[in-house]
Amino acid sequence: MGNLSDEQREELLNHLLPDLIDRLEDALHVIESLDDDPEQAELRQSLLALLGEIRPHLRPGAEE
């Protein structure tokens, strides 16, 4: 994205963000559905924490 103007970069992000948000929400549902297998528990908690941190920034007001 080095040669894009700020306006072009913003337009591209606005185009890509809805799909990214949908994919992250799908990932969140999959992660939440993982069983509490001790081998998966740490990964599950880390991924949920990461998604919880970035989700409000992607879609303001989407906090549950």
Given a cut of 50, whether residue 64 has pLDDT beyond it is: no
**Residue 1: inside a domain, yes or no?**
no
**Total structural domains within the chain:** 1
pTM of the model: 0.48
**One-letter-per-residue 3-state SS of the chain:** CCCCCHHHHHHHHHHHHHHHHHHHHHHHHHHHHCCCCHHHHHHHHHHHHHHHHHHHHHCCCCCC
**Residue 31: inside a domain, yes or no?**
yes
What's the pLDDT at 52?
79
**Residue 38: inside a domain, yes or no?**
yes
**Residue 29: inside a domain, yes or no?**
yes
Q: How confident is the model at residue 63 (pLDDT cuts 50, 70, 90)?
A: very low
**Residue 20: inside a domain, yes or no?**
yes
**Residue 25: inside a domain, yes or no?**
yes
The whole domain housing 21 covers 6-58
Q: Return the closest-CA partner of residue 44 out of 54, 36, 55, 52.
A: 36
